[in-house]
Amino acid sequence: MAALDAALPLGAAEAPAWDADGAVLAGAFAQLYVVACYTSLGLGCAVCAWAALAGLLGDSKARGLPLPALHSWLKRFALAVLMVHPNPAPRAAAGAKPRPSPNTKPKPNPTPNADNGNATPSLRLSPSGGGNGKKRRRRRRAEAQPLGPAVKVRHLAVIMDGNRRWGKREHGDGIRGHAAGGEALGRFIEACIAEGLEVLTVYAFSTENWNRSPAEVAALMNVLCEHAEEMRRGAVERGLRVRVCATQPQRLPSIVRQRLRRLEEDTRDGTNFTVNVCVSYGGRDEIALAARRIACKVEAGELRPEDVDEDLFAQHLTTAATPDPELLLRTSGEHRLSNFMLYQCAYSELVFIDKLWP
């Protein structure tokens, strides 16, 4: 109690005559201020408690309670709070660094790839502000985790997902979303070139997309034809090479195959940048085709079974001429590969964002 009397001014023994309401309120505020400084309650809580005490003072006078008894109750309350919070927690000075507790172990810096101790630069996709709690949680999940070792991204793979949903949301027509997605691809290629990338592989039309309605598939083929011609002209002007990766090309309409063949032939000598367009493509189908080709060569005596390894297998994939992607990006908020480059992305960093592709 002696220590409390020293810490809490205007104790019961030192209290002046309680015939003035201001004296009681001043003493109450002083005691609550000390409680706030010695605990984690904060000065704001002390002010609110003091305001409540002012109302209690008026009620006590109305009921004829003696003011010294009110002050004694306040002191007992302060003592109880200090007993609950035995460790003082004074507010740190402005600009001062918080002093670590002796029992607190420092948290190590997270390093995603424990097998490699190199510094890990962060790649973050800035989400837009606002929105409800569910959207904020989705945006937090969309923030890309720090990339692994500090390596230069040469090859970027992208699953361009969300065209149909964007078209329905913005225009009430999913086909318009696919057309806008083709235009966005042109801008995205320019951005990749500006960032110093060497290869871009995009998922334009999967083998599973053949299961959509015939009207939508026909509209997608028309969009593919139009953008193939536009891409051909732009790639020739910029010195880009475009390669078409298809595991079921026979399912494409003849006019589409002709446009894609011309796109590849006219850009064959491009050296400034490479774009792989996966059309009528499936990752499992690609692996099966590669195994079938290797089996045929073994049966023909061109290869021995012991010659088959990872490098040889990769040479029989549709992306044989390009390195594996260091980074795979998928839009629309879906968190799956959807049968895209299953063999090539074995060691790729995966980034998923909520934004729809266009």
Catalytic machinery residues: 161, 209
Q: How far is CA 160 from the centre of its chain?
A: 17
The Cα–Cα gap between 309 and 195 comes to 34
CB contact set of 88 (below 8 Å; sequence gap of 6+): 37, 38, 39
112 contacts 145 by C-beta, under 8 angstroms: yes
Sole residue written with tokens 């309680």 = 18
CB contact set of 338 (below 8 Å; sequence gap of 6+): 159, 161, 203, 206, 208, 330
